[in-house]
Amino acid sequence: MSPARAADCARCGGTGATFVLPTGPVCANCRRYLAYHPAVCPECFEVRPIAYPSLSSYNVLVCASCAEEPSIFACAQCGREDHPYGGQRCARCVLSERLTGLLTDPATGRIRPQLQPLFEAMTSSERPQTAI
Ligand SMILES: [Zn+2]
Ligand SMILES: [Zn+2]
Ligand SMILES: [Zn+2]
């Protein structure tokens, strides 16, 4: 048997694993799958991506917080795991960036005051990805 290449995904066996979990490297597809299919963490009972071995038992998978690990699923901008969208950021951050571009008054470089309530309503909605 040849030794496994360092960049093979521990989950699907594919190449190009660029995200590192305590259980092994995973590819972008598997990271995305885990992020889009969160489950109830058996330790904190929050719905989160479950991919980290528990501190009490390596065979039990829990969320990043319970495992005291930095989450590979967290948004690069705000650090939240909910509403993953695209590669590295969450839907909320993508939406607020787009809305800021759309609603900003070029004269002042700021969101028009009359549009601020709309901005807040859209970025705080339960499912920001539907507003994009
Ligand atoms: Zn994979
Ligand atoms: Zn947890
Ligand atoms: Zn975010």
Query: 69-89, pLDDT tens digit by residue?
Result: 999 999 999 999 988 887 789
Angle between helices 116-123 and 91-103 (to 10 degrees): 160
Assess whether 61 and 100 both reside in one domain: no
Q: Who surrounds ion ligand 1 at CB < 5 A? A: 9, 11-12, 14, 27, 30
How many angstroms is it from 29 CA to the middle of ligand 3? Answer: 19
Name the pTM for this structure: 0.78
Judged against a pLDDT cut of 80, whether residue 103 lies above it is answered with yes
Q: What is the number of the ligand closest to the CA of 19?
A: 1
Assess whether 58 and 98 both reside in one domain: no
Assess whether 130 and 90 both reside in one domain: yes
CA–CA dist 44, 120 (Å, integer)? 30
Assess whether 64 and 83 both reside in one domain: no
CA–CA dist 81, 126 (Å, integer)? 14
Token pair 């969208």 is found at 85
Assess whether 60 and 97 both reside in one domain: no
Assess whether 7 and 61 both reside in one domain: yes
- Expressed as residue numbers, the domain containing 52 is 1-73
SS3 121: helix
Assess whether 88 and 110 both reside in one domain: yes
Assess whether 2 and 32 both reside in one domain: yes
